[in-house]
A and B are shown apart, each in its own frame.
Chain A
Amino acid sequence: MSTLATTQPRFTTGIYHGKLGMWVFLASEIMFFSGFFGAFIVLRNLNIEVFTASAHMLDKTVATINTAVLITSSLTMALAHLALERGEQSKFRLFLFITILCAFGFLGIKSYEYATKFGHHIYPWTNTFFATYFTMTGFHALHVIGGIIPMIWMLGKSLVKGYPQEMHHRVEVLGLYWHFVDLVWIFLFPTLYLIF
């Protein structure tokens, strides 16, 4: 009885813990943003004029660029995982670095948007549209930051002694999260900027 049956990892579903757990967590994340979208629908129907007028004050060009930046980061994230799975350390490092760069780029552009709004004396308490706008994009930005932190950790690890290839599943799980963050933005962008 050197090793016990119960101490060996077991994946009854055939999906490893991290991936399964992340899917369940993402399900709960969808519900988190659903709350905001629900509130958005209710408040928009109550204040349709305010919402239309305010939405036109948002900068569509900047937001479109930002969308492109974030989608690019999703692509490079997937490429980074692929590279690590194949054992190509330098490619993994490069793609992960581009992902981090894009993520910071997204945050930078978002901050610029926020700063412009504050410059025009537009704050979350200005009206219900901007309350939803700042809350939804703010929580999305928090999720972006939540993704950047493990990415930097992984990049640091791979710079020091190479990221172990057999741990590529961690990159995959982070990738799942990152695609979700991207997807939330894909919903936020038309909802806040385009439909009015």
Chain B
Amino acid sequence: MEAVLSTEKHALAGGHAHSESFIRHYIFSTDHKMIAKQFMFTAIFFLFIGGAFALFIRWQLAYPGQPIPLIGKLLPSTWVNGQGAVTAEWYTQLLTMHGTIMIFAVIIPLLVGTFGNFAIPLMIGADDMAFPFLNMVSFWLFPLAGIIMMSGFFMEGGMAAAGWTSYPPLSAIASTGQTLWIVALFLIGFSSILGGVNYITTILNMRAPGMKMFDMPMTVWAVFITAIIITIGTPVLASALSMLFMDNFLSTSFFMPAHLTVATRDMSRTAGGGQPLLWQHLFWFYSHPAVYIMILPGMGVVSDVLATFSRKPLYGYKAMVFAIIAIAFLGIIVWGHHMFQSGMNPLLGTTFMVSTMVIAVPSAIKTFNWLGTMWRGKMEFVTPMLNAVAFVSMFVIGGLSGIFMASTPVDVFIHDTYFIVGHIHYVLFGGSLFAIFAGLHYWFPKMSGRMYNERLGKLHFWITFISFNCTFFPMHILGIGGMMRRIYDPTVYDFLKPFQPMNEFITISAIVLGFAQFILVYNLLHSWFYGKKAKRNPWRANTLEWQAPSPPPHGNFDTELRVYRGPYEYSSPDSVQDYLPQTVSPEELQEQNERHRQRLAQQEHAQPVA
């Protein structure tokens, strides 16, 4: 007990010794925990912008041409018409910006930026990242890019409107908003690469003494593999964006076919001879792996959460690691399945179909191992666990609907319909975002030093989970019914008119879903200042971050760390407790067990008297 007290005092002294100016501490911080929080709050801010855009889209689809309630009249005239209804021009901008923001400014910064930064040094027992300064640069490029992207609002023609995939020729001839979109994405890509380099170096070089690669928690493994994909994939997007920028800004012809005539733009300088499909190949060479950038860290977080709250070792740890590596590898060679309808050689399409289907194997390994982890476990259904279980089930639905799209004959029918919209949201919202919710609640005590409110956490989970399914499941039906993915007004087609009640149902669910997120923000912010003080290890988890004080001071740990075992020794027969932290040495363990045995013996001795 005294030892614990003295180390805590030491931590306090250490914390004060490192006192920094406000700007160094809160704004231009090089501390990985502060950078993680900066990523988190910036990304949550963008989550609400992207979410608001989604609700405008949904309003237009359910009630086309009707004014947006309450705020329709207040919106600028470039967005809405005289009555306050969404215009077609703004609708395309909404679609583009919703996709771009949610992918590049919400999911990736939350999973990779927040959890990567927060968890890696703490989980491998390091004091900070390998390159703290680069880490700071990597964060600050992100809000800068966000501002550049959103500033398209002030330009003629508004924000980018060529879709988040920005296929040329449209994106190459589009207005200034599109140019800004390209620049912003380039910066975000650069930020990702800097982060990726930092993560890889940190994980390879800074693990605590005794920690082998196969002693790392799944979160660290997942972010490590993700960082490799980022370093390999993102630069290709950067070069593609460079070429698109040249086409857009300097009228070159990388992606521009010959003899293209456009009413709104002087094309006399454009020589032609380019290949629009080239963009699709380069773009998807990054953006398909990006799908895995957005799900693999989630899989890592969920693996840790499931093992902790099932009080059981992760089922098939090594298989889980190799499955992640397999998914990452396959993810890089399947980009062509986005282009089945773009005019691809059918034989090549078959190749991409087969390689895509193969991803089902490592994904199934992961799913069954998660189920195996929970199987007959002593489950504790706290908020992180609920969200993690939701992740597993939603990922299964998203994965299965992916197989429909992967098979070329079926894809002919459902390509570019609401089926793909439903699919991507089951993977990105049902998958990634639920994993994010799980991680946010799981590490909240470590991040803030306080406990979140469990009742609000559960309330948020249940409302989100139900309204999420009500929102996105019917989209599969709309898609099979033929509703197009980027349609502005479904009521102009007779064959889509019967679906209008379903569109209204989706929109109402989406509004509930959107507003439920305020519960999350309230819970996080309120608990951050007024929550119950958190102990060091509130979840009785094994991994290293729980050996640090909550919240960890600058430099993280106040004790010397040595790792003796893997991260998932729950309910181990070697220990009297149901968990066995990585740092407990065999001698300490023996002492603990001995003390426990003595206590039991005393109790037994005392009992006959009573």
- B254: chain A residues at CB < 8 Å are 39, 43, 128, 131-132, 135
Provide 23 A-B residue pairs closer than 8 Å at the C-beta atoms, listed in order of the A residue: A5-B209, A6-B127, A6-B560, A12-B207, A15-B205, A24-B201, A25-B193, A25-B197, A28-B231, A28-B234, A32-B235, A32-B239, A38-B278, A39-B239, A43-B274, A46-B275, A124-B252, A125-B269, A127-B253, A131-B243, A131-B252, A131-B253, A135-B246
Interface 1/0s, chain B 370-390, versus A by CB < 8 A?
000000000000000000000
Distance between A46 CB and nearest chain B CB, rounded to angstroms: 6
**Does A164 lie at the interface of the complex (its beta carbon under 8 Å from any beta carbon of B)?**
no
- B273: chain A residues at CB < 8 Å are 43, 46-47, 50, 127-128
User: Which residues from 119 to 134 on chain B have a C-beta closer than 8 Å to any C-beta of chain A?
Assistant: 125-127, 130-131, 134
Q: What separation, in Å, do the CA atoms of A138 and B74 have in the docked complex? A: 46
**Does B196 lie at the interface of the complex (its beta carbon under 8 Å from any beta carbon of A)?**
yes
Q: Is the CB of B235 within 8 A of A31?
A: yes
Q: Is the CB of A13 within 8 A of B235?
A: no
**Does A34 lie at the interface of the complex (its beta carbon under 8 Å from any beta carbon of B)?**
yes
Q: Is the CB of B196 within 8 A of A28?
A: yes
Q: Indicate which residue in B205, B208, B274, B275 contacts A13 across the interface (CB closer than 8 Å).
A: B205
Q: Indicate which residue in A5, A33, A124 contacts B560 across the interface (CB closer than 8 Å).
A: A5
**Does A160 lie at the interface of the complex (its beta carbon under 8 Å from any beta carbon of B)?**
no
**Does B92 lie at the interface of the complex (its beta carbon under 8 Å from any beta carbon of A)?**
no
Distance between A132 CB and nearest chain B CB, rounded to angstroms: 8
Q: What separation, in Å, do the CA atoms of A125 and B246 have in the docked complex? A: 9
Q: Indicate which residue in A10, A33, A36, A127 contacts B206 across the interface (CB closer than 8 Å).
A: A10
**Does A139 lie at the interface of the complex (its beta carbon under 8 Å from any beta carbon of B)?**
yes
Q: Is the CB of B127 within 8 A of A7?
A: yes
**Does B351 lie at the interface of the complex (its beta carbon under 8 Å from any beta carbon of A)?**
no
- A24: chain B residues at CB < 8 Å are 196-197, 200-201, 231
**Does B233 lie at the interface of the complex (its beta carbon under 8 Å from any beta carbon of A)?**
yes
User: Which residues from 225 to 248 on chain B have a C-beta closer than 8 Å to any C-beta of chain A?
Assistant: 231-236, 238-240, 242-243, 246
Q: What separation, in Å, do the CA atoms of A34 and B239 have in the docked complex? A: 8
**Does A35 lie at the interface of the complex (its beta carbon under 8 Å from any beta carbon of B)?**
yes
- A34: chain B residues at CB < 8 Å are 235-236, 239
Q: Is the CB of A6 within 8 A of B204?
A: no
Distance between A167 CB and nearest chain B CB, rounded to angstroms: 16
Interface 1/0s, chain B 131-150, versus A by CB < 8 A?
10010000000000000000
Q: What separation, in Å, do the CA atoms of A146 and B235 have in the docked complex? A: 17
**Does B271 lie at the interface of the complex (its beta carbon under 8 Å from any beta carbon of A)?**
yes
Q: Is the CB of B197 within 8 A of A21?
A: yes
Q: Is the CB of B232 within 8 A of A131?
A: no
Q: What separation, in Å, do the CA atoms of A36 and B235 have in the docked complex? A: 10
- A131: chain B residues at CB < 8 Å are 243, 246, 252-254, 274
**Does B555 lie at the interface of the complex (its beta carbon under 8 Å from any beta carbon of A)?**
yes
Distance between B520 CB and nearest chain A CB, rounded to angstroms: 33
Q: Is the CB of A17 within 8 A of B130?
A: yes
Q: Indicate which residue in B205, B275, B557 contacts A12 across the interface (CB closer than 8 Å).
A: B205
Q: What separation, in Å, do the CA atoms of A33 and B271 have in the docked complex? A: 24
Distance between B221 CB and nearest chain A CB, rounded to angstroms: 15
**Does A29 lie at the interface of the complex (its beta carbon under 8 Å from any beta carbon of B)?**
yes
Q: Is the CB of B205 within 8 A of A11?
A: yes
Across the interface, name the chain B residue whose C-beta is closest to A20: B201
Q: Indicate which residue in A6, A20, A128, A139 contacts B208 across the interface (CB closer than 8 Å).
A: A6
**Does A27 lie at the interface of the complex (its beta carbon under 8 Å from any beta carbon of B)?**
yes
Q: What separation, in Å, do the CA atoms of A139 and B204 have in the docked complex? A: 30
Given A5-B560, A128-B274, 6 other A-B contacts at CB below 8 A?
A6-B556, A12-B205, A28-B193, A28-B197, A36-B239, A46-B274
**Does B270 lie at the interface of the complex (its beta carbon under 8 Å from any beta carbon of A)?**
yes
- Assuming the contacts A6-B208, A13-B205, A35-B282, asked whether A128 and B234 have C-beta atoms less than 8 A apart, the reply is no
Q: Indicate which residue in A4, A15, A28, A39 contacts B557 across the interface (CB closer than 8 Å).
A: A4
- B206: chain A residues at CB < 8 Å are 10, 12
Grouping DSSP codes into helix (H, G, I), strand (E, B) and loop, the A interface class, with mixed when no group exceeds half, is helix
Distance between A137 CB and nearest chain B CB, rounded to angstroms: 13
Range class of the B interface residue count: 35 or more
Q: What separation, in Å, do the CA atoms of A29 and B126 have in the docked complex? A: 28
- Assuming the contacts A7-B555, A43-B254, asked whether A27 and B275 have C-beta atoms less than 8 A apart, the reply is no
**Does B497 lie at the interface of the complex (its beta carbon under 8 Å from any beta carbon of A)?**
no
Q: Is the CB of B555 within 8 A of A31?
A: no
Q: Is the CB of B236 within 8 A of A31?
A: yes
Distance between A39 CB and nearest chain B CB, rounded to angstroms: 6
Q: What separation, in Å, do the CA atoms of A10 and B201 have in the docked complex? A: 11
Distance between B412 CB and nearest chain A CB, rounded to angstroms: 26
**Does A61 lie at the interface of the complex (its beta carbon under 8 Å from any beta carbon of B)?**
no
- Assuming the contacts A21-B130, A39-B243, asked whether A28 and B205 have C-beta atoms less than 8 A apart, the reply is no
**Does B561 lie at the interface of the complex (its beta carbon under 8 Å from any beta carbon of A)?**
yes
Distance between A149 CB and nearest chain B CB, rounded to angstroms: 15
Q: Is the CB of B236 within 8 A of A32?
A: yes
Distance between B269 CB and nearest chain A CB, rounded to angstroms: 5
**In the complex, the 4 A-B pairs of residues with the closest C-beta atoms, listed nearest first:** A35-B239, A32-B235, A131-B252, A31-B235
Q: What separation, in Å, do the CA atoms of A10 and B202 have in the docked complex? A: 10
Q: What separation, in Å, do the CA atoms of A192 and B275 have in the docked complex? A: 19
Interface 1/0s, chain B 245-270, versus A by CB < 8 A?
01000111110000000000000011
Q: What separation, in Å, do the CA atoms of A4 and B238 have in the docked complex? A: 41
Q: What separation, in Å, do the CA atoms of A39 and B282 have in the docked complex? A: 9
**Does A195 lie at the interface of the complex (its beta carbon under 8 Å from any beta carbon of B)?**
no
Across the interface, name the chain A residue whose C-beta is closest to B271: A127
- B209: chain A residues at CB < 8 Å are 5, 10
**Does B114 lie at the interface of the complex (its beta carbon under 8 Å from any beta carbon of A)?**
no
**Does A57 lie at the interface of the complex (its beta carbon under 8 Å from any beta carbon of B)?**
no
- B204: chain A residues at CB < 8 Å are 12-13, 20
**Does B595 lie at the interface of the complex (its beta carbon under 8 Å from any beta carbon of A)?**
no
**Does B599 lie at the interface of the complex (its beta carbon under 8 Å from any beta carbon of A)?**
no
Q: Is the CB of A4 within 8 A of B560?
A: yes
- B208: chain A residues at CB < 8 Å are 5-6
Q: What separation, in Å, do the CA atoms of A40 and B251 have in the docked complex? A: 17
Across the interface, name the chain A residue whose C-beta is closest to B245: A135
Across the interface, name the chain A residue whose C-beta is closest to B562: A5
Q: Is the CB of B130 within 8 A of A38?
A: no
Interface 1/0s, chain B 546-567, versus A by CB < 8 A?
0000000001111011100000
Distance between B271 CB and nearest chain A CB, rounded to angstroms: 5
Q: Is the CB of A135 within 8 A of B242?
A: yes
- A7: chain B residues at CB < 8 Å are 127, 555
Q: Is the CB of B238 within 8 A of A32?
A: yes
Across the interface, name the chain A residue whose C-beta is closest to B233: A31
User: Which residues from 265 to 290 on chain B have a C-beta closer than 8 Å to any C-beta of chain A?
Assistant: 269-271, 273-275, 278, 281-282
Across the interface, name the chain B residue whose C-beta is closest to A51: B273
- B243: chain A residues at CB < 8 Å are 35-36, 39, 131, 135
- B557: chain A residues at CB < 8 Å are 4, 6
Distance between B276 CB and nearest chain A CB, rounded to angstroms: 11
**Does B10 lie at the interface of the complex (its beta carbon under 8 Å from any beta carbon of A)?**
yes
